[in-house]
Chains A and B, each alone.
Chain A
Amino acid sequence: EPEVTQTPSHQVTQMGQEVILRCVPISNHLYFYWYRQILGQKVEFLVSFYNNEISEKSEIFDDQFSVERPDGSNFTLKIRSTKLEDSAMYFCASTLTPSQETQYFGPGTRLLVL
Chain B
Amino acid sequence: AQTVTQSQPEMSVQEAETVTLSCTYDTSENNYYLFWYKQPPSRQMILVIRQEAYKQQNATENRFSVNFQKAAKSFSLKISDSQLGDTAMYFCAFMGHSGAGSYQLTFGKGTKLSVIP
Contact = CB atoms under 8 A, between A and B. Distances in A.
Given A44-B107, A107-B42, A102 B47 contact: yes
Q: Do most interface residues of chain B lie in helix, strand or loop, or is the interface mixed?
A: strand
B45 A91 contact: yes
A48 B104 contact: yes
Given A56-B100, A98-B103, A105 B50 contact: no
Interface residues of A, number: 27
A43 interface: yes
Contact of B102 (A35, A43, A56, A104): A56
Q: Do most interface residues of chain A lie in helix, strand or loop, or is the interface mixed?
A: strand
B91 interface: yes
A28 interface: no
B35 A102 contact: yes
B44 A41 contact: no
Contacts of A45: 104-106
A86 B21 CA distance: 30
Interface in B89-103: 91, 93, 95, 97-103
A44 to B, nearest CB: 7
Interface in A20-47: 31, 33, 35, 37, 41-45
Contact of A55 (B46, B100, B109): B100
Contacts of A13: none
Nearest to A99: B103
A103 interface: yes
Nearest to B45: A105
B100 A42 contact: no
Interface of B: 33, 35, 37, 42-47, 50, 91, 93, 95, 97-110
Interface of A: 31, 33, 35, 37, 41-45, 48, 50, 55-56, 58, 89, 91, 93, 98-99, 102-108, 110
